[in-house]
């Protein structure tokens, strides 16, 4: 593998079409497309300043690197990438990719990040700000995520999320085959219009959670007192709730078990078959 270290590159496509290259303590300065159409590239302790610095790269290892705010839309159309111990200040990262692993990475502007990524692995990652991270992702494996971005995990397919703390609006909308373990989910309208959503030992906060879902499983989950109108128009429910749920409204079918229920609202707007059982355990 060829090594380049302690240098700076700027302008248009300075490292275009490189193969089997390792760069150490390199700065990609002002300009565009610093590393493009490359294969088997490693970067350690590098700084990226210019726009679009890492496009169409197959096989990447990025460690201890920093992407400045001016490096927006930095990593697109690149497959089989591992990034560790790095900081990203720019938005619109990681688009149209396959085989992406992030470990110990902080994204300080997560706006429109992780769009259409397949086979995505997240380990100890923090997202700050922005909207719509993880749109249209497939085959997602998360263990350790902290996020205050809005509208996270929309249209996601086949995901497992563990040990997450998510503060958001409208999380996990129109997802399919998603399981979440041991996480705190704080945001309005959790999980609407999804299919096969499973939550295990999670704490749920925010208005109107878990509505319009086909196939919702809860195992030993807790609800914040402010949660209201839960399960509206949802069907195929199998829920076990620890403690109190404030309000259940018009669940369509299945069973909901809770230690205590504040209010069950059933009105003329309930959809058929209107056969959901609500069982109070205490």
pLDDT tens digit string along 73-111? 999 999 999 999 999 999 999 999 999 999 999 999 999
pTM of the model: 0.95
DSSP 57-100: EEEEEEES-EE-GGG-S-EES-EEEEEEEEEE-SSS-SEEEEEE
Residue 8 lies in a domain: no
Q: For residues 82 and 103, what is the distance between their CA atoms, to the nearest angstrom?
A: 8
Residue 78 lies in a domain: yes
Q: What angle is formed at CA 136 by the lines to CA 182 and CA 219, rounded to 5 degrees?
A: 25
Which of 204, 160, 155 lies closest to 178, judged by CA?
160
| Residue 30 in domain | no
Contacts of 57 (CB under 8 A, 6+ apart): 35, 36, 37, 38, 39, 41, 78, 81
Question: Please, what is the end-to-end C-alpha distance for the chain in angstroms?
Answer: 67
User: Which residues share a beta bridge with 51?
Assistant: 32
pLDDT of 281: 82
pLDDT at position 55 is: 96
pLDDT at 31: 86
Could you give the number of structural domains in the chain?
1
Cβ–Cβ < 8 Å for 169, 188:
yes
Burial class (CB in 10 A: 0-12, 13-18, 19+), 277: exposed
H runs (alpha helix) in 163-282: none
φ/ψ of residue 53, rounded to 5: -75, -10
Q: What are phi and psi of 216, to 5 degrees?
A: -125, 125
For 192-238, how does the pLDDT look when each residue is reduced to its tens digit (9 = 90+)?
Answer: 999 999 999 999 999 999 999 999 999 999 999 999 999 999 999 99
What pLDDT, in 10s, does the model give residues 165-195?
A: 999 989 999 999 999 999 999 999 999 999 9
Helices and strands (H and E) in the chain: how many: 0, 22
- b (16+ CB within 10 A) / e for 115-137: bbbbbbbbbbbbbeebbbbbbbb
Burial (0-12, 13-18, 19+ Cβ within 10 Å), 142: buried
| Domain contains 25 | no
| 19: in domain | no
Q: How confident is the model at residue 282 (pLDDT cuts 50, 70, 90)?
A: low
Residue 86 falls inside a structural domain: yes
Q: What does the CA dihedral 153, 157, 160, 166 come to, rounded to 10 degrees?
A: 10
Q: Which residue in 52, 126, 139 sits closest to 85, CA to CA?
A: 126
32 in a structural domain: no
Q: Is residue 150 part of a domain?
A: yes
* Segment of 14-18, 29-33, 158-162 carrying the highest mean pLDDT: 158-162
Average confidence (pLDDT) over 9-15: 92
Angle, alpha carbons 261-211-112 (nearest 5°): 130
pLDDT digits (tens, 9 = 90+) for 127-174: 999 999 999 999 999 999 999 999 999 999 999 999 999 999 899 999
Range(s) of the domain holding residue 167: 63-280
Cis peptide upstream of residue 124 (ω within 30 degrees of 0) = no
């Amino acid at each position: 593998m060829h090594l380049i270290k302690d240098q700076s590159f700027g302008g248009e496509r300075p490292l275009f079409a490189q193969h089997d290259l390792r760069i150490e303590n390199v700065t990609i300065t002002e300009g565009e497309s610093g590393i493009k159409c490359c294969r088997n590239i490693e970067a350690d302790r590098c700084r990226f300043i210019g726009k679009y610095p890492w496009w169409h790269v197959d096989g990447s290892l990025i460690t201890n690197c920093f992407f400045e705010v001016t490096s927006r839309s930095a990593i697109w159309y690149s497959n089989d990438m591992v990034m560790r111990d790095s900081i990203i200040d720019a938005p619109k990262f990681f688009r149209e990719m396959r085989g992406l692993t992030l470990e110990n990475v902080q994204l300080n502007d997560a706006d429109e990040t992780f769009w259409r990524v397949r086979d995505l692995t997240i380990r100890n990652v923090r997202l700050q700000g922005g909207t719509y991270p993880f749109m249209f992702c497939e085959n997602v494996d998360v263990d350790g995520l902290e996020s205050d971005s809005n509208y996270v995990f929309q249209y996601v397919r086949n995901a497992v999320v563990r040990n997450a703390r998510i503060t958001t609006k409208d999380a996990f909308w129109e997802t399919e085959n998603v399981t979440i373990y041991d996480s705190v989910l704080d945001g309005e309208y959790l999980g609407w219009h999804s299919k096969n959503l499973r939550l295990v030992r999670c704490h749920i906060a925010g208005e109107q959670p878990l509505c319009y879902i086909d196939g919702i499983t809860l195992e030993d989950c807790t609800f914040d007192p402010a949660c209201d109108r839960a399960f509206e128009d949802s069907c195929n429910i199998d829920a076990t709730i620890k403690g109190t749920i404030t309000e259940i409204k018009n669940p369509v079918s299945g069973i909901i078990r809770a230690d205590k229920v504040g209010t069950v609202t059933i009105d003329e707007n309930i959809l058929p078959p209107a056969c959901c059982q609500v069982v109070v355990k205490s």
